[in-house]
Each structure stands twice: as structure tokens, then as C-alpha cells.
Chains A and B, each alone.
Chain A
Amino acid sequence: MPKDGGIGASTTRREDVRFLTGKGKYTADINVFGQAAAIFVRSTVANGVIKSIDTSAAESMPGVLAVFTGEDFVDVGGNPAGWLINSRDGEPMKEPKRPVLAHGKVRHVGDAYAAVIAETEQQARDAAEEIIADIEELPAIINMADALAGDNVVHDEIGTNQCFDWGWIEDNRAATDEAIRNAPHVTTLELVNNRLVPNAMEPRASIGTYDAAGDSYLLQTTSQNPHLTRLLISAFVLGIPENKLTVIAPDVGGGFGSKIYHYGEEALVLAASKKVGRPVKWVADRTESFLSDAHGRDHVTKIELACEKDGTFIAFRTTTLANVGAYLSNFSTATPTFLHGTLMAGNYTVPNVYVNLKAVFTNTAPVDAYRGAGRPEATYSIERVIDMAARELGMDPVELRRKNFIKRDQFPFTSAAGLEYDSGDYDALMDKMEAIVDRKAFEERRKASEAKGKLRGLGINAYVEACGIAPSNLVGVLGSRVGLYDAATVRVNATGNLSVMVGAHSHGQGHETVFPQIVADMLGIDPASVDIVHGDTSKIPFGMGTYGSRSLAVCGSAMVRATEKIIAKAKKIAAHMLEASADDVDFAEGQFTVKGTDKSVSFGEVALKAYIPHNYPLEDIEPGLEETAFYDPANFTYPSGAYACEVEVDPETGKVTIERFTACDDFGNVMNPMIVSGQVHGGVVQGIGQALLENTTYDENGQLLSASYMDYVMPRADDLPFIAVSHDGGTPCTHNPLGAKGCGEGGAIGSPPTVVNAVIDALQSGGKNVTHIDMPLTPARVWAAMNNA
């Protein structure tokens, strides 16, 4: 049993109180004295040459303080890609410059080419209407295959729309081809992984404040990783030294990847603040978010699964086109490669895997990591083709997976795609899922649905993913331009309470509650006496922020290491106080005790001694009690799961309803089960959204047809049932001190194929020869598939 409020307790969240009473402080809620407002002018065409921009009328509008165009930023840097990918022939990827404001050309609808700063937002908006841009529209490059085939290019200076042509693992290509050529059975599936918009409920916002007295800048912004944003602005874009730039990400209303990246608007408000001598605030509206936030997914894939007649897997081979949009967002090149190709062996002992992936520029918004980031694409391809193979071979889909699972005693296991999975028990997850689903009872439920004229299907799925990306030495070899450690500083204050400064950023994950649970558990103190400080580069150590399910596994580990240092030092101080040797002092439940005696001092007494060091061995021990640790993980963590979904399909309309959903996950050791369940619920529903509802649609001219909540279908409460979640009894991660695996993305990774497998099962049960439908499985698509079958 967990200690009160310690590791493993479902402690309710302390941050909830401010959010429930309207006292959260999101960037748009902050008003700085004297602030002016920024409005961006965005391209209405997907591809065009900027012939001229006449700003004179706008500049004379009431309240206008300044107007910026791309011309104002030609002498500053660009927003870089964070990961260099080399093509199969060794050529480095093509890296076009991504300017603060478009210059020379606009490259997607929503590409900002001007900005107006005015006294009020309405004045800025009115003036923006008066900017006259002469933009010569060019044919839009939207479809990836056309982009690779034609002469029309998004970036003239690189002369091709192919960013790179990547092979993983290139040395395995010939063997995989050979294995597939000779295989007794090959299942082939062509599929689309639909483009999504992350849609955090809080639109992006930024406030730039320049302080002339100190020649310094403050950026308050909607970021998942303020230090990374500062680094990008300082080292690449504006060249402001880091000691002159503070970045604060206050309360942030969800990210899901879209707020990892540095965006041009952040640089603009900083530069504008210096020019107009006032703080400058920008808040996106929702349509701007649709047009300019980094999107997710957007793969077109052909996958082949070769197997023996008995279902033993021989090889997976995929060819994929991955859309990167008009510019390279910061992690856009890592997402389809090292977060996707490396997972293409799935949960299986398959000996041959080869992935070919071409990244393609198009006249669309940049595409980057969105919840799951590459792993949902991998899992979808693998688990869909396995389901199809099971049907072709006449095998049960659960049994086919079990037949090929890596078994518990095979860990650590190096997959054919090159990752070393440290721990897992995929059969146990499948056992648990099958027990909850009760397939015999499913047959009864199917009959009940059929009696109502509905088709019922059961879809199942297994996933493994890699998160908490690491270690820095390895990712550096693979092309990463950043390290992937994190950091924490544990400051014990004089009266025994703690401030813990962490590099991770909480924007819904509950760090303010969970991180104190861990530290308090280690120190044997009340969690209420521990507070987390995050999101402010002037207060926290240099950490890489929150994305890729890394907060607990990476930053949490740094926090554990720093707390261990605190205990080690406190033990020395206690030993002095107790007139004993440090080796003879035990620490438990907040008390330092001399072994075999009743002599003890409390943690609080030691803290006070550290700050009032009278009668203190100053020659051996520094005063104070504050420690920092940087933690660089030895490996990814590898969460896994077994999911099941039951759907009803209305054969009259093609409408799919989710009747039951079961998610059994292995996240290793769980710190707060309530919060982990919440992460799974949210991830699963984002995956259901991808499978049934959400689609980002550009027409052939590059107009975004789904740029509002009236056109882009977000999951609503009435689209969903309650979700059965189980994550107890996981296999601990073997290489981090908490034994924890990341839990933020599993739901979004495991759920899309589960839903699609269920719909196909329903249609097959109704005698329809439908083997695949591309997501989202809207009524129109399902009805068309049924009626063409």
C-alpha cells in the first residue's frame, strides 16, 4: 500500500483549486502595464510570390505603432530543424530557411507575411485589413506523390520537394526483400494516416517585453518547454544572449506536441517590443491555430507482412511518404524517422524489418510531433496489417499476435528495428484485456446488436512504444541537435519545507501534485510541504521540458537523483548533530537515527542546522541544503498495452458508435493511478477522434477546408462511452530509479487501429467483404465501403 500521499497514492490535484475557481493564469490572462497588441496578416493563398506589400495605409490608421514585414527580418536567423536526417545515399536532408515572417514567397495558407502593432487588438485588426499585398499566386503543391513527381517546388533554392529519402535499417533491406520474395504468405495494405490538428483548447499566445534599462527581454508564452524556446530564439533566431532573455510558460492550456516548437510569433513580439518600447501581446484565435499550429501525422504508407502458413511472422516492409508541410518545424524530421521507423517491429519477434520513408515538402502547414508522434503511425500500420493477415490466414487475431509476441523471459530484447526493449509482458496484458472483454459474452452482445439491426464488431490491438527519448550520446549520433536529459533542483528551505525547481513543464499532467508525492515519499515528510516551480527559465535549471511522455521518466529521475544528494548531505549533517559517523546513521520516515540507539534528529532539524550553521563542521560540509541533478537516461522507456474496442455499425447509414473500450497498459511503476488513468482516457479519446471523426482537409488549391470547430470534428462527450482502464502490475522500467515508463501517449498510440479493426470486424460479420477503410471512418466512408463491397 502506498504511504499517505506518497508514491502510488491517487492524491487529488492541488492545482485544481485555481483552475476550478477561475484563478488559473494562462498567457492570454496576463496583462502587462502599457501593453500593445499584435495582429498577424496571413496568406490566403497556398503558394505565391510576394511582389510587394504596401503598409502605408495601415501605418496611418488610428492607434498603429508599427508594421512589420518579412523585410524587417532578413538579417536575423531562421527557426531551425532540431534533427538532421541523412538520406540512404548519405546526403544530408534539405533544410530551407524558416523566417520569422514570410519573405519572397508565401508557402501555405496561414503563412504570416506581416504584423501590425497597435494600441488595441481591434485597432491592430482594423489596420491589418488595410495592408495591400500583391501576391502572384502559383499552383499549389498539396498531394505528396505529385510533389515528388513534378517540377513545381515549395522552396526554389533547394530545387526539390523531397526533404530526405531515409532507410531503416538500410543494411537490412536486401535480407527483408529476400524474405518477402520467398515467403509463403504476404499480406499487403495501403493506408493513409490522416492529418490531424492537435487542438489544445488554449490557443497559442505570446507577450514580449523589452527592458531598455537592462537591455533584456521577457517572453511569456504558451510553451511546453521554455528553455528550449529560449535556446532557439537565442542561438538561432534573434541572437539575444540567454542571460538577456527570460522565457516564462505560465499555466498552459494543453499542448499535445503543438507547443513544443518555437514559432515566429514569439520572435516577432520580442522584436516588436524593442521597436515600439512597449510590451506587445498576441493571442491567436482558433482559426489561426488551425492555420499555423504544427499539425500531426499525415503519412501515406504501403506495408507488407510476410509470414509462414502457420502465422509466424517473417518480415515487415513499409514504404511511406511523410508530409512535413511547407517548412521544417523543430522536430518534424525526427518524428517520422526515429520515432516511427524504429518501432516497426512492434511487439513481435519478427526477424526482418525494413522501412523506407520519404519526407515531402508541400504547401501546407508544417507537420510535427502530435501526441504519440510517429508511434501511432507505426502501430497503426503494424496492427492493421496483422488484423488483415489473421483474416487471410483464417486465424484468430489474438492468437496470431500471441504466437509472435516477444515473451516475458526474452527481455531485454533487441528488435529487428534496432531498439532494445528493457521489459514487458505482452501476454499478461492480453490476458487481462481478454478477461475484461469476455469474448464469450461478446458473442451475446453481438446477437443483441443484430437483433436491433446493427452490426457489432470487436477490434483488438497490441502496442509497444518508445518514449522518454534518450540517451543524448545515441541521439547525437543519430542526428539530434539537442541533448535529451532533464534537470531538477531540490531546495530544502530553512524551516524544512521544499521548493523543487524542475525542467519539465506541466500543462495538464499534474506535476504540481505528483512530483511532491515522490520527493515527500523519499524524505518521509508531508507532501504539502513540497512545492514545484516550473516554467520560468530564470528560476529552473536547464531542462528540456515536457513532450514524448518524458516528464516522469526523465525529469522525475533527475528529481530523485537530486533528492538522493539531499539525503546524503543531510545524513552527514545529522551525523555531526548526533555525534556519530555518517555510516552509522539511518534515515527513515523523516528521522535520522544512530543505528541501534534511540538517538535521532528529524529532517526539519537538520534543515534548520544547514541554514543556521552554528556548531557546524564548516570545514567539511557547506552550509545550505540544495542540490541539483541532471539526468540523462540510458534508454527509452517502453510502455506497452493491449486494447479492445467494440463498435456498433448502423448498416443503413454507416454510422459507427463506440460501445465499449478497454485499455490495459504497462507503464511500469505508477506514481498516481488516478492521474495515469486520466492520461489514458484522454489519449484513447484523441485516438478515437482520429479513427472516427477528425480530418484535416486541404483542397487542391491548398485552402484549409477544416479550419474551425464547425468543420473539424472534435470528439464530444456524447460520442463516447466510459473507458475501462487497467494499469496495475506493470513490469518496471529497468534503467530509471522510479521504474516508471511514460504514460502520456499510449492511449493515442493504441486506440486508432483498435477502432478500425472493430469496424472491419463488424462489417465482416454482416457479410460485407470490406478489408480496409481509411480514417476517419465517417458514416459516408463506411457506407460507401459497405455498398461497394
Chain B
Amino acid sequence: MASVTMTVNGKSVSGEVEGRTLMSDFLRNDLRLTGTHVGCDTSQCGACVIHVNGEAVKACTMFAVEADGADVATIEGQANADGSLNVIQQAFQDHHGLQCGFCTPGMVMSAAALLKENPTPTEREVREYLEGNICRCTGYHNIVKAIMAASGQDVSAIAAE
């Protein structure tokens, strides 16, 4: 067992973990932060995307011990200080960018990382950035639309209804 200490959503946390404990399991089982979801075993689905020191990371791809000392952000820490949805979360609701909600935490975390490095992405750039996030419900249509809207772009002309 190893001791780990890290900052998660602005709070200092510590725990005892096995060397093989995945970061996703540490968050879910030890910290009870179950918003980070696990949808596959192969780091393909992206439901577990978190931010580690500001970078988007699949939490199932790193061991908890690797996050020792890191600054970690998860979906639970994304809302505004007053509890209201942040710009990306609000855009997902406004544009129906989620259905079952299972992939959603990873989508929101990936979107935040994208918009940090590319504040006004094109449709193609959004689609390519989401290559590592799988959604089975939405066909991605409204996810892409929501992310573009969150970046401040006018999405009213997207695809006739």
C-alpha cells in the first residue's frame, strides 16, 4: 500500500492505495466521487476523463499513485461557485447534448480541455477532438452543437429541423 495526497476539486485529499489501484477507482471507491464513470477497459470510451494538472486525462489510464501531489479536477467540481451550471454544462442542457448521461462527465471534461486550448473550434475540430469520447445515445449532433455554442459561436443555423 502507498500513501497518496492530492488536491481534488480544490480540496486536499489523501488515501492509502495499492500500486495497481487505478485513478478512476481511487476517485470512485475511496473518494466516492462517482461522477467519473468507467465505460470500457481499454481507454477508448472517455467516460472517465478528468483533468490532472490542467490536462485532460483518462482516469482509467493512470494509477492513483501517479497522481500523488497533483491538482485534479473532476465533473463534481465544474459547476459555478453558486452551484449553477457552468457555460459548458449549461450549453449541454440548452442543446440537449446528453441523453442517458453516462458519457456526459467525460464529454464535459474533454470539452473544457478543448476550449481551453482552442477557444473557438470549428465543427471539424470539435469532432476530431472528441475522437476519444464515445456516446451511444446522441449521435454526437447535439454534443458538437453544444460545445460550439459554449465557445460563443452562433449555432442557430446548424442542420434544418
**Which A residues fall within an 8 A CB radius of B?**
12-13, 15-26, 28-29, 31, 122, 199-203, 251-254, 256, 285-287, 436, 507-510, 673-675, 677-678, 681-686, 708-710, 714-718, 720, 722-726, 747
Q: A-B pairs with the 6 shortest C-beta distances? A: A22-B35, A19-B101, A253-B102, A685-B139, A508-B100, A709-B44
Partner of B108, one of A18, A20, A510, A722: A20
**Which B residues fall within an 8 A CB radius of A?**
18, 20, 28-29, 32-42, 44-45, 47, 74-76, 78-79, 85, 89, 92-94, 96, 98-105, 108, 123-124, 126-128, 130-131, 133-145, 158-161
Other contacts beyond A19-B98, A122-B20, A677-B96: 14, CB < 8 A:
A16-B98, A18-B101, A21-B85, A22-B76, A28-B34, A201-B39, A203-B39, A678-B142, A685-B139, A716-B127, A722-B144, A724-B160, A726-B160, A747-B139
* B161 adjacent to A15 (CB under 8 Å): no
* B131 adjacent to A436 (CB under 8 Å): no
CA distance A708 to B139 in the complex (A): 20
6 A–B contacts from the bound complex (CB under 8 Å): A122-B18, A253-B37, A253-B102, A436-B160, A716-B134, A718-B128
CA distance A21 to B76 in the complex (A): 5
- Return A702 CB to nearest CB of chain B, in Å: 21
Known A-B contacts A20-B104, A682-B139, A720-B139; A708 and B40 likewise in contact (beta carbons under 8 Å): yes
* A24 adjacent to B127 (CB under 8 Å): no
Partner of B99, one of A122, A508, A708: A508
* A15 adjacent to B101 (CB under 8 Å): yes
* B123 adjacent to A202 (CB under 8 Å): no
* B41 adjacent to A708 (CB under 8 Å): yes
Residues of A within 8 A of B144 (CB): 717, 722
* A254 adjacent to B100 (CB under 8 Å): yes
Residues of A within 8 A of B101 (CB): 15-16, 18-20, 24, 251, 253, 508
Residues of B within 8 A of A723 (CB): 139, 141, 159
* A717 adjacent to B136 (CB under 8 Å): no
* B142 adjacent to A681 (CB under 8 Å): yes
- Of B20, B47, B140, B160, most buried by chain A (CB within 10 Å of CB) is B140
Residues of A within 8 A of B33 (CB): 22
CA distance A720 to B101 in the complex (A): 21
* B35 adjacent to A675 (CB under 8 Å): no
* A202 adjacent to B78 (CB under 8 Å): no
Using CB atoms, name the residue of chain B closest to A506.
B100
Partner of B136, one of A31, A674, A682, A725: A682
Known A-B contacts A15-B101, A508-B137, A724-B160; A717 and B96 likewise in contact (beta carbons under 8 Å): no
* A20 adjacent to B100 (CB under 8 Å): no
CA distance A725 to B75 in the complex (A): 31
Partner of B159, one of A199, A714, A725: A725
CA distance A254 to B139 in the complex (A): 13
CA distance A674 to B93 in the complex (A): 11
* A722 adjacent to B141 (CB under 8 Å): yes
For the residues of B in contact with A, the DSSP-based class is: loop
- Return B49 CB to nearest CB of chain A, in Å: 12
* A717 adjacent to B94 (CB under 8 Å): no
Using CB atoms, name the residue of chain B closest to A714.
B134
CA distance A675 to B97 in the complex (A): 10
- Return A757 CB to nearest CB of chain B, in Å: 20
CA distance A581 to B37 in the complex (A): 58
Using CB atoms, name the residue of chain B closest to A708.
B42
Residues of B within 8 A of A203 (CB): 38-39
Residues of A within 8 A of B103 (CB): 201, 253
- Return A118 CB to nearest CB of chain B, in Å: 15
* B94 adjacent to A12 (CB under 8 Å): yes
Known A-B contacts A22-B33, A202-B39; A509 and B134 likewise in contact (beta carbons under 8 Å): no
Using CB atoms, name the residue of chain A closest to B33.
A22
- Return B65 CB to nearest CB of chain A, in Å: 15
* A720 adjacent to B93 (CB under 8 Å): no
- Return A504 CB to nearest CB of chain B, in Å: 15
CA distance A717 to B35 in the complex (A): 22
- Of B37, B105, B126, most buried by chain A (CB within 10 Å of CB) is B37
- Of B102, B134, B143, most buried by chain A (CB within 10 Å of CB) is B102
CA distance A686 to B136 in the complex (A): 8
- Of A21, A28, A201, A708, most buried by chain B (CB within 10 Å of CB) is A201
Residues of A within 8 A of B38 (CB): 28, 203
- Return B117 CB to nearest CB of chain A, in Å: 17
Residues of A within 8 A of B104 (CB): 19-20
Partner of A29, one of B34, B44, B75, B78: B34
Partner of A718, one of B36, B96, B131, B142: B131
Residues of A within 8 A of B139 (CB): 681-686, 715, 720, 723, 747
* B136 adjacent to A256 (CB under 8 Å): yes
* B108 adjacent to A681 (CB under 8 Å): no
Partner of B138, one of A28, A681, A710: A681
Partner of B100, one of A17, A202, A285, A709: A202
Residues of B within 8 A of A23 (CB): 35, 76
Using CB atoms, name the residue of chain A closest to B91.
A20
Residues of A within 8 A of B108 (CB): 20
Residues of B within 8 A of A683 (CB): 139
* B85 adjacent to A254 (CB under 8 Å): no
Residues of B within 8 A of A718 (CB): 124, 127-128, 130-131
Partner of A12, one of B93, B131, B160: B93
* B89 adjacent to A286 (CB under 8 Å): no
Residues of A within 8 A of B42 (CB): 286, 708-710
CA distance A49 to B141 in the complex (A): 48
CA distance A43 to B37 in the complex (A): 27
- Return A436 CB to nearest CB of chain B, in Å: 6
CA distance A26 to B36 in the complex (A): 11
- Return B9 CB to nearest CB of chain A, in Å: 10
- Return A512 CB to nearest CB of chain B, in Å: 11
Residues of B within 8 A of A747 (CB): 139
* A201 adjacent to B138 (CB under 8 Å): no
